Amino acid sequence: MNSNRSFEERWNYLNGTTIDLKNEWVQAFVDGEGCFQCGIGVHKNRDKTRLAITNTLEIAQNTHDVKVLESIRLFFGYLKPKYDITSLNECKKVRSVSRYIVYGDSSITDFLDKHPMFTRKNLDYLDWKDLITLKENKAYKTEKGLESMISLKKGMNTGRLMNNSLVSNSDKLNIFRWSENQDSNRDNKN
């Protein structure tokens, strides 16, 4: 069914549909498709070097379904890449995956505090929220604070899965290899 449908057919279906998001749907969609991330790294801009910390929630969808992301953007904030989602030709020209990205915004934390997720992803969200608070309190300015932030970051997402006894060492190795392959594929597409 789905794999035999053309890009145009999928795109036209959603563009002929009005999307009215409900809180529960958005909560479940973030739970299923969202990824809470924290980037901690040194960035050089001209002659200045600085520590950059970015807390993001990212939701990816096939570009033919970008209208879903646009609806979520209207619900929260920002869509990347920016292009005219009402143009089939524009949608076909961009990457196959579009992403909704929001940076540590209180609209997300307020929403998810009112509508908590019921999976392991809620633990990632709580760590992400702690990282936002640590950044706001400038914890990164001390060695102990920065170490605490890095430790929280490493324990999120696949790090949470890797740091428990529920997964065998051989499965952890397979997950790690799969994750590296995904990163490599994503880099090759960019």
Where exactly are the structural domains of the chain?
A: 7-156, 166-190
Tell me the C-alpha distance between 7 and 12, whole Å: 8
Whether residue 69 contacts residue 79, with contact meaning beta carbons closer than 8 Å, is answered with: yes
Tokens coding 179: 């994750």
Tens-digit pLDDT profile for the chain (190 aa)?
A: 667 788 788 777 877 788 888 999 999 999 999 999 998 988 888 888 888 898 988 888 887 888 888 888 888 765 455 666 667 777 667 666 667 677 767 888 999 999 999 888 999 999 999 999 999 999 999 999 999 999 899 888 877 766 655 556 666 566 667 767 766 665 666 5
CATH architecture of the region 7-156: Roll (3.10)
pTM over 0.75: no
pLDDT in tens, 43-98: 888 888 888 898 988 888 887 888 888 888 888 765 455 666 667 777 667 666 66
Residue appearing with tokens 């909704």? 100
Rounded to an integer, what is the distance from CA 167 to the centroid of its chain?
24
Q: Which amino acid is at 107?
A: S
Phi, psi dihedrals of residue 37, rounded to the nearest 5° = -135, 155
